[in-house]
Structure 1
Amino acid sequence: MSTAASTPLFACSRCFSRHPFEELSPGEQLCKECRGLFPVVKCTYCRSEFQQTSKSNTSSICKKCEANVKLYGKPTACEYCNTIAAFIGNKCQRCANSERKYGAAVTCEQCKQRCAFDRHDDSKKQVDGKLLCWLCTQSLKRALARTKQHLSVDKHKHRGHKLSSHKDKRKSDMMKSKNSGDSLNESQPSEKKSKLNPLQGELDPNSSDHVVAMTQLKETIASLQKKVQQKEMELLSKDKLITELKAQHHNNTTDLRNEMKNKERMNETKFTLMNTKIQNLLKEVATLSKSAKKNNKNTKSLLSNTENSGSGTDSPSTN
């Protein structure tokens, strides 16, 4: 039995041809011919995997998020999963749909964020019996797939050692026992290695999970910095408004004071004019009253003279 024949093969999800697991793309499980030698990348915004369809277009944004950017502009961080995919409101479409379908969000047992949704079904069995959010579920599935791949490779190596030891019939029984002991000794480190490899893959700083985590942290930091800048701009605008209001209040107070002073001056001027006019009128009244008295006196004297002259002319005629 050849080593190639013992390698487990997996079917392509598009053409159903069988290939080794490492030759299939993660997520969509496509062979090289079906994916056209174009890489499968993760969307910068929603973190879902998609396949690039052109060598000239190496965008890391999926078509759905690209359309949403054109419609609604750049997204903000989701209040649940912290992915930069909230185009409408404060929630991404994935969390909004899950909340509408499964109820309020609960705490993820892996990342300890309030971004998981309990489906109340057997979906937890697929992720090691834990209630995880979508991002942690995808990360754990990739880790389990790598573990399965490492175990299958180590099992294949162990089986190859066994076959080679059984085919060597020309050696003595002592050499056979030694070879069998060596094969057992070699199988134990391989099993230990297979158990350690998944951990090493998870702890590898260049692994996809760490890249995703670093990208999420950078996006979260960028989102927080953007919020801080917005708050600073709001504070600056409020300070500017307060300064303008203070200046307007000062100007209004100054205008009112000047207006009151002008009115006081005008009132004083009017009062002075009225007093002057009253004094003039009083003088005129006094003059008129004096002249009237004088005229009355003259009139009385004329009347008395007239009476006297009249009485003097009448007396001789009577005698």
Structure 2
Amino acid sequence: MRRDVIVLSTSRQKSGVGSDHGSAKRPRLDPTKLANGSTPLRSTPETSGLLDPNSSDHVVALTQLREQVSSLQKQLSLKDQQLLAKDKQIAELKAHMSSDERNAREKMQAEKKKHSEVVQDLMVGTLC
């Protein structure tokens, strides 16, 4: 029977119901408070480096990533300028090619007309 009482009191402690004596759990410690209960002042770079040795690694990594982003943005800007220059060159070449084709057609039409006139003159000359 005594065993039941012990089990019963243990289950009461776990559930927190009807426990007359203090809780068996230790209070949670607040990481933002010091051991004496006061909150720390803002940390300076010197003290934050002492408290968290990995923070400088994060700063270095962040700096490297920022430099990489800056470098990639410069590369992107350069590539955009190159693409715009090539698009401009393509447009100029197409305009030049179109002009050449138009001139060739006009020349061909003029030669065709001249040829027709020569043939006409020869026919008139042979008929006479």
Same fold, TM-score > 0.5, yes or no: yes
Mapping of residues 152-301 of structure 1, within 5 Å: 211-213=50-52, 215-289=53-127, 291=128
Cα gap change, 1:210/1:282 in structure 2, threshold over 3 Å: closer, same or farther?
A: closer
* SS of alignment partner, residue 129 of structure 1: coil
Name the CA distance, whole Å, in 2 between partners of 1:129 and 1:270. 97
Q: Which runs of 5+ in 2 are unaligned?
A: 1-24
Q: Which amino acid in structure 2 is aligned with residue 129 of structure 1? A: R
Name the CA distance, whole Å, in 1 between partners of 2:59 and 2:46. 20
TM-score, L = length of structure 2: 0.60
Name the CA distance, whole Å, in 1 between partners of 2:73 and 2:120. 69
> In structure 1, what is the equivalent of residue 28 of structure 2?
129
C-alpha deviation, 1:255, in angstroms: 0.9
Q: Which amino acid in structure 2 is aligned with residue 285 of structure 1? A: M
* SS of alignment partner, residue 68 of structure 2: helix
Q: Identity, % of aligned pairs?
A: 7
Query: What root-mean-square deviation, in Å, do the aligned CA atoms of Structure 1 and Structure 2 show?
Result: 3.3
TM-score, L = length of structure 1: 0.26
In the TM superposition, structure 1's runs of 4+ consecutive aligned residues that sit over 3 Å from their partners are none
Q: Which amino acid in structure 2 is aligned with residue 258 of structure 1? A: H
Q: Which runs of 5+ in 1 are unaligned?
A: 1-124, 148-194, 292-319
Task: Show CA shifts across 1:195-242 (max 9, x none).
Answer: 6xxx9xxx9x988x75133x3332222222112111111211110110
Rg larger for: 1
**Structure whose residues are more often strand by fraction:** 1
* SS of alignment partner, residue 28 of structure 2: coil
Where relative contact order (Cα < 8 A, 6+ residues apart) is larger, the structure is 1
Name the CA distance, whole Å, in 2 between partners of 1:206 and 1:271. 87
Name the CA distance, whole Å, in 2 between partners of 1:271 and 1:231. 59
Q: Which amino acid in structure 2 is aligned with residue 265 of structure 1? A: N
Name the CA distance, whole Å, in 1 between partners of 2:111 and 2:68. 63
Name the CA distance, whole Å, in 1 between partners of 2:91 and 2:84. 10
Q: Which amino acid in structure 2 is aligned with residue 254 of structure 1? A: E
